């Protein structure tokens, strides 16, 4: 829902009242999930530059040049709120969404990693249910798509009882000369929507993701999208065919905000406008209202920008694969997004107002009370053996084999080191080796957001180094509480500052990411907030495969050496 200040801004710019369809678009595009209105102001603190970075923050995927015209794409997204109320579909569509983000740059998806967090398994049947179904959703979607799930992490803490976290990372490869941008830069080009039909699933999804959960959140179940991984597999194959034949001038996944987001963002980046005809969108439910078509978040859909002389070739390929599609509009030069439905104008808005015209909300920071209190000293250890056994029996330290054994880790036959090690290692078709890690220590971030975040990034870096890889770049997923609460916002700001400092100190750039806020809940009148969780997904290159290292002991008599500080 728009705030009073936001609604007044719309009226001020338009010099009129917005209609129902326009309000729906603003509610989606100015949501925290789409606009980053509480966090974007801090992104300047990140190091985004390195000679090998081809594309960075602002695209569907960051692109890193490995040499020989080979680029690797990297993306990380969250699907927390949907997974909390519908764990199977929420997790599955989270995987599907990040795969399509990678695909939208022309990349072939080659690997998925996941970072998932739940409440205390020993005390909560609810958390057991969430874990089982989240893992099942991730496994089913990735396995059906033919993309290996090669790594990640699982963490348990009471703070995640009502707000589980599901973060998914995807990696892909593309030839430098085949990269596609999420941009509509040429007036006269056609807008082609292809993939699944459009339904009512996912409507208000971004609005749902931009508010706290409560004991009434089950009513938001229709906001959770329903995935179809077999359709996703077809979508991947068709899109890669279009990319290989160089038939696309622009491409974007339909994720949060649906059609309204994809059209307006592509036009905004290209300094153009768009005219769309909603009656040409193929529907799953024929009685849908125009505003529902605009903001539906039905899955497995892509929006392509196609020049006129290539339209017939694109249409022929889509028909060949029997894929539902519609030529739904054109790119214009008037910097407005205009939509019609059967001759009636539904939408007429300046593109820059939709994408970046929101009034920046005032946010206050205040150090949480628990950090203002005098530090409590840890009790003295009297029985070291018992303490070690207690640690080893913790679900946070014990084996996660039950999780990753449900994933197909070797489909595509590129996995050299799978899940269960410090980092996953893949051998690309080019012969190059890459290492991947996905990490966060939310307990450490809770105690010290600045240093805890920097240390979580350092852990991801060390995990890569332990395989023999040189870290190249990373993406982040910032999972925090309600930014309207000063203590939650303080945690977010301190975390970004720590991550920014890390990126400069170690000269490892940030190439993309995601922000998931409002991970708080009101249950029976009690406010509960997650541990602040800035998940770090990092990639490195193993320049000499002969030096590849695994984390197992090799031979009896070998020395065990601790490198680094051993005190404290």
- Closest by CA to 511, choosing from 472, 463, 566, is 472
Tell me the C-alpha to C-alpha distance, in Å, between residue 111 and each of 95, 133, 253, 316. 11, 21, 18, 30
Tell me the C-alpha to C-alpha distance, in Å, between residue 338 and each of 70, 184, 333, 346. 38, 15, 12, 8
439, 539 contact by CB (below 8 A) = no
Which H/E stretch holds residue 447? helix 442-447
Rounded-to-integer distance, Cα 155 and Cα 165, Å: 9
Rounded-to-integer distance, Cα 12 and Cα 99, Å: 39
55, 509 contact by CB (below 8 A) = no
By residue count, the chain amounts to: 568
Number of other residues whose CB lies within 10 A of the CB of residue 374: 5
93, 82 contact by CB (below 8 A) = yes
Beta bridge partners of 118: 156
As given in the structure block, the two tokens for residue 258 are 């649906």
542, 425 contact by CB (below 8 A) = yes
Look-up of token digits 């078509």:
293
As given in the structure block, the two tokens for residue 176 are 């430098």
As given in the structure block, the two tokens for residue 481 are 């509480």
Pairing of strands 520-523, 190-195: unpaired
The rounded Cα 320 to chain-centroid distance in angstroms is: 31
Provide the annotated active-site residues.
33, 79
Beta strands in 366-469 (DSSP E): 415-417, 424-427, 433-439
Rounded-to-integer distance, Cα 232 and Cα 142, Å: 10
Rounded-to-integer distance, Cα 276 and Cα 290, Å: 11
Residue 480's Cβ-side half-sphere holds a number of Cα atoms within 13 Å equal to 30
SS3 405: coil
Rounded-to-integer distance, Cα 480 and Cα 494, Å: 12
Beta strands in 517-553 (DSSP E): 520-523, 526-529, 533-542
């Amino acid at each position: 829902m728009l705030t009073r200040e936001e609604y007044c801004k719309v009226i001020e710019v338009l010099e009129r009242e917005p209609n129902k369809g326009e309000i729906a678009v603003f509610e989606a595009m100015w949501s925290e999930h789409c606009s980053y209105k509480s966090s974007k102001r801090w992104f300047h603190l990140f190091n985004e530059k390195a000679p090998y970075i081809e594309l960075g923050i602002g695209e569907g995927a960051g692109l890193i040049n490995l040499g020989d015209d080979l680029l690797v794409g990297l993306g990380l997204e969250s699907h927390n709120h949907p997974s909390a109320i519908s764990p199977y579909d929420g997790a599955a569509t989270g995987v599907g969404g990040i795969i399509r983000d990678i695909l939208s740059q022309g990349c072939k998806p080659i690997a998925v990693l996941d970072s998932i967090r739940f409440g205390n398994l020993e005390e909560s049947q609810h958390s057991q249910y969430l874990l089982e179904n989240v893992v099942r959703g991730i496994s089913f979607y990735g396995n059906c798509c033919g993309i290996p799930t090669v790594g990640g992490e699982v963490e348990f803490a009471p703070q995640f009882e009502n707000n589980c976290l599901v973060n998914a990372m995807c990696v892909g490869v593309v030839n430098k000369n085949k990269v596609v941008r999420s941009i509509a830069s040429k007036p006269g080009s056609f807008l082609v929507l292809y993939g699944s039909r459009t339904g009512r699933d996912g409507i208000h999804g971004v609005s749902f993701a931009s508010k706290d959960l409560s004991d009434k959140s089950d009513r938001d179940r229709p906001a959770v999208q329903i995935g179809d991984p077999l359709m996703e597999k077809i979508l991947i194959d068709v899109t890669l065919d279009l990319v290989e034949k160089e038939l696309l001038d622009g491409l974007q996944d339909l994720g949060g905000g649906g059609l309204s987001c994809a059209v307006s963002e592509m036009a905004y980046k290209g300094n153009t406008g768009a005219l769309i005809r909603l009656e040409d969108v193929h529907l799953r439910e024929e009685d849908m209202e125009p505003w529902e078509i605009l903001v539906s978040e039905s899955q497995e859909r892509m929006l392509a920008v196609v020049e006129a002389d290539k339209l017939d070739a694109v249409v022929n390929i889509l028909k060949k694969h029997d894929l539902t599609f519609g030529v739904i509009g054109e790119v214009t030069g008037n910097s407005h997004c205009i939509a019609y439905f059967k001759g009636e104008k539904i939408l007429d808005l300046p593109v820059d107002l939709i994408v970046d015209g929101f009034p920046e909300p005032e946010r206050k920071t205040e150090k949480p009370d628990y950090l203002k209190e005098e530090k409590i000293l840890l009790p003295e250890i009297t029985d070291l053996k018992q303490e070690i056994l207690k640690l080893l029996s913790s679900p946070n330290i014990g084996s996660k084999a039950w999780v990753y054994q449900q994933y197909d880790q070797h489909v595509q036959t590129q996995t050299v080191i799978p899940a269960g090690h410090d980092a996953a290692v893949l051998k690309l078709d080019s012969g190059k080796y890459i290492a991947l890690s996905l990490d966060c220590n939310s307990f450490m971030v809770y105690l010290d957001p600045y240093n805890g975040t920097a240390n979580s990034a350092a852990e991801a870096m060390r995990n890569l180094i332990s395989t023999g890889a040189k870290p190249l770049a990373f993406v982040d997923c910032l999972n925090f509480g309600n930014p309207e609460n000063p203590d939650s916002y303080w945690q977010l700001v301190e975390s970004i500052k720590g991550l920014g400092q890390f990126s400069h100190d170690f000269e490892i750039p940030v190439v993309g990411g995601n922000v998931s806020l409002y991970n708080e809940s009101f249950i029976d009148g009690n406010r509960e907030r997650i541990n602040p969780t800035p998940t770090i997904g990092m990639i490195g290159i193993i320049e000499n495969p002969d030096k590849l290292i695994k984390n197992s002991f090799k031979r009896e008599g070998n020395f065990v050496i601790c490198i680094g500080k051993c005190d404290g």
